[in-house]
Structure 1
Amino acid sequence: MSDSGDSDVAWTYYKDRPEWNDVTPVPEDEGPNLVVVIAHSEKFVDVYDYFRAVLQNNEKSERALHLTKDAVELNPANYTVWQYRRDLLKALGTDLRSELDYVELVIKNSPKNYQVWHHRRVLVEWLQDPTQELELTGDALMQDPKNYHAWQHRQWAIKTFGLYEKEMDFVDNLITDDVRNNSAWNQRYFVVNNHLGWSDLNVQREICYTLEKIKFIKNNESAWNYLKGVLIHDKRGLSGNAVVTSFCEELYKNKCRSPYLLAFIIDICDEAIKKGETNCLHNAHRAVELCQALGTKYDKIRSKYWNYMCEKFNKAQQEEENNKDKVENMDE
């Protein structure tokens, strides 16, 4: 679908169609001071001149509906065309099931077009029938697992119509196919957050699930981010969950130096400091060492950030030492 339609052998310009003789085309008004003239094809100019005419006249007819289809083919991202098409569908009482079939074809040709997905959503709202949406979005995500518009539409359909039943299986298959699929991890969080809930049982289940995926690929930012998101819902926090802290320390002990692991341990140290629950593993001194390692070796691209964090923990370390001295002096 593009502006390159002049090669169509069977195409007849609207200006040459007898049934359109009663319409005066409306040329595009680009103003008196043009900076850049957009070179449209003759077909594009013809279609949109007639579209502007029916829009100006507020014509509600089958021929106007057909015209919008030609306009969409030439520019599927045109908001005004889609909005007028919806006005026509309502005015003409058009079969919305056939419109669903049509828009599915447009989506397959233009899967990252916001306007077409929005049109689809309006149709489903009018029909109150989401039965095709999971399959449609699933097909789109098979082609591109990170298609934002498909994910957005899928989440809307699931949340609006309560279609949660098989979604965790769908997400698990995507993560199994590509454990780094951040969109799939995000969808998993969406399902738990909006449907299953963050009971302690669900939190621990999600932690175990994520740790297994991290074991498979330790340098996977998506899984580490998900783990941190899950632990927000754990009343014990990052530093209080023994399963997580032991897992991290075991990785570190076995020479894993993934920047995401080191950053996670730093977060554990930071939380322990704020809670006043530091220990031999999780304290300001350890955090300083890890920040230095990240800034100089394992995450150089963010060295300025790690230097900043290092200064923060140096201050915390000094406070820890001062507090220790105060306690020792009191004991004496």
Structure 2
Amino acid sequence: MQHEVERINLTKEQQELKYEKDQPKIKYYRELTDYLLQSKKEHIYDEENFKLTTTLLNLNPEFYTIWNYRREILTNLYNNFNSNEDEKTKLTSIINDDLKLLMSLLKRFPKVYWIWNHRKWCLFKLVELNSVNWEFEFKTINKMLELDQRNFHGWHYRRFIIENLEEQAIKEEKINEIQAQLKILKLNLDEFDYTTSKIQTDFSNFSAWHNRTKLIPRILNLVKVTNTDNELFKNPLNILHNDLEMIKTGIYMSPEDNSVWLYLYWLLTDPIFVNSFQSKENYIKLLEEQISLIREVNDLEIEDSGHDNIGCLKSLIYIKAVLNNSLQKDNTIDEEIKESLVKLIELDELRKGKYNDQLNGIVPIL
């Protein structure tokens, strides 16, 4: 199985028959490619070639040169839309048709960068035409992430839409800056809740965890600027303890999942949280609590599988090093870190060179 698609092993005779059958398609693809590349070189911008780019991109949506040519055709065909209302209307219709085409392509190829890139270009064209609908686009990406909630392209695009909804709020409330900031705060709080729901559905959703790291600093700042009464975001430590409690479930359920651990590292080391502790002792106590939790989870894994968990060992090493650094210990590696590195050398064959270098002090742990 490859990407949940079952591989079919063809016999030599079947391969030859398939090759013969595919020859006309291959010939057409090559001829169409040669023709459009030559047309691009000769700066031929007409509606016929525009239609042919649609044909070729349906065959190969990763052909970024043809996406570029498609944009050149649109730009050159309708470069006078500002002074011509009919041209403006026509271009708006064509761009909206392109958005429909892109949606059909994304359903088939949701992780092709060039499709997402062209969609952004289309939206900015609609901005120029005063015809963009960011709310509709937001609903669209919602539906797309329902189909594949871990697609990092989709999450990146979602942040792009939110940024533009924020810009729209500023324009709408250009006289009342605080009102604009309150709208932006609500957008970000809603996004925060969205990441929570996605994480609770799937603790392995790295994109949701990552999005959270972008949202939390922004929300904390917006709450402060707008003087909003929000208990969770009143103090960074409230968020820290809230998310440590949430992430605990993920650690117990999926200790082998790197997404959960990476978010834990961020929570324990980002200055937003570290600098919010009233005393160094309180911070050290929290680190020690997390180390105890990891030891407990690892013990459960040993009972279940008969060996240490790689994720637990790596995190134990990392957080132990953060703790030692906070205690201002010298650079010597303590016994627990040494023991964990020795275990990792046996358990994680692929990275044993790195662990050996850390054990010998060649590569720092932090």
> Does TM-score exceed 0.5, indicating one fold?
yes
The equivalent residue for 2:238 is 205
TM-score (normalizing by structure 1): 0.68
Using the TM superposition, give the Cα deviation of residue 187 of structure 1 relative to its aligned residue in structure 2, in angstroms. Answer: 0.8
Paired residue type of 1:62: E
Using the TM superposition, give the Cα deviation of residue 215 of structure 1 relative to its aligned residue in structure 2, in angstroms. Answer: 2.5
Larger radius of gyration: 1
Paired residue for 1:221, among 258, 262, 271?
A: 258
Using the TM superposition, give the Cα deviation of residue 78 of structure 1 relative to its aligned residue in structure 2, in angstroms. Answer: 1.5
For 1:243 and 1:140, how far apart are their aligned partners in 2?
Answer: 43
- 1:3-152 map, 5 Å: 41-90=26-75, 91-92=77-78, 93=87, 94=91, 95=93, 96-128=95-127, 129=132, 130-152=134-156
Contact 2:250 2:260 in 1 (8 A): no
Question: CA-to-partner distance for each residue in 1:22-72, whole Å, 9 max, x for gaps?
Answer: xxxxxxxxxxxxxxxx99712213322432353244333322221111121
Paired residue type of 2:59: L
Report the CA distance shift for 1:311/1:51 in structure 2 as closer, same or farther (over 3 A). closer
Paired residue type of 2:123: V
SS in structure 2 of the partner of residue 164 of structure 1 = helix
SS in structure 1 of the partner of residue 213 of structure 2 = helix
Question: CA-to-partner distance for each residue in 1:279-315, whole Å, 9 max, x for gaps?
Answer: xxxx988x512212212335642555455445559xx
- 1:233-244 map, 5 Å: 233=272, 234-235=274-275, 236=277, 240-241=282-283, 244=286
For 1:249 and 1:56, how far apart are their aligned partners in 2?
Answer: 62
TM-score (normalizing by structure 2): 0.63
Question: CA-to-partner distance for each residue in 1:72-111, whole Å, 9 max, x for gaps?
Answer: 1122111221122122223244222222112111221221
Question: CA-to-partner distance for each residue in 1:254-286, whole Å, 9 max, x for gaps?
Answer: 474522541243133332243xxx6xxxx988x
Using the TM superposition, give the Cα deviation of residue 156 of structure 1 relative to its aligned residue in structure 2, in angstroms. Answer: 2.1
For 1:39 and 1:273, how far apart are their aligned partners in 2?
Answer: 71
1:191 matched to 2:224? The reply is no
For 1:100 and 1:110, how far apart are their aligned partners in 2?
Answer: 15
Contact 1:221 1:260 in 2 (8 A): no
Report the CA distance shift for 1:304/1:80 in structure 2 as closer, same or farther (over 3 A). closer
For 1:145 and 1:123, how far apart are their aligned partners in 2?
Answer: 24
Contact 2:137 2:161 in 1 (8 A): yes
| Identical pairs, percent | 22
The equivalent residue for 2:334 is 288
For 1:167 and 1:132, how far apart are their aligned partners in 2?
Answer: 16
SS in structure 1 of the partner of residue 188 of structure 2 = coil
How many residue pairs were aligned? Answer: 272
* Unpaired runs of at least 5, structure 1: 9-37, 314-332
Paired residue for 1:262, among 305, 310, 316?
A: 316
For 1:252 and 1:80, how far apart are their aligned partners in 2?
Answer: 50
1:297 matched to 2:282? The reply is no
Contact 2:288 2:323 in 1 (8 A): no
Contact 2:284 2:326 in 1 (8 A): no
For 1:190 and 1:269, how far apart are their aligned partners in 2?
Answer: 25
- 1:172-191 map, 5 Å: 172-191=196-215
Contact 2:145 2:154 in 1 (8 A): yes
Report the CA distance shift for 1:270/1:306 in structure 2 as closer, same or farther (over 3 A). farther
SS in structure 2 of the partner of residue 166 of structure 1 = helix
Report the CA distance shift for 1:269/1:305 in structure 2 as closer, same or farther (over 3 A). farther
Return 189-198 or 206-215, whichever deviates more: 189-198
Report the CA distance shift for 1:202/1:60 in structure 2 as closer, same or farther (over 3 A). farther
Report the CA distance shift for 1:244/1:121 in structure 2 as closer, same or farther (over 3 A). same
Using the TM superposition, give the Cα deviation of residue 190 of structure 1 relative to its aligned residue in structure 2, in angstroms. Answer: 1.4
SS in structure 2 of the partner of residue 168 of structure 1 = helix
Contact 1:72 1:78 in 2 (8 A): yes
Paired residue for 1:157, among 150, 154, 161?
A: 161
For 1:261 and 1:79, how far apart are their aligned partners in 2?
Answer: 41
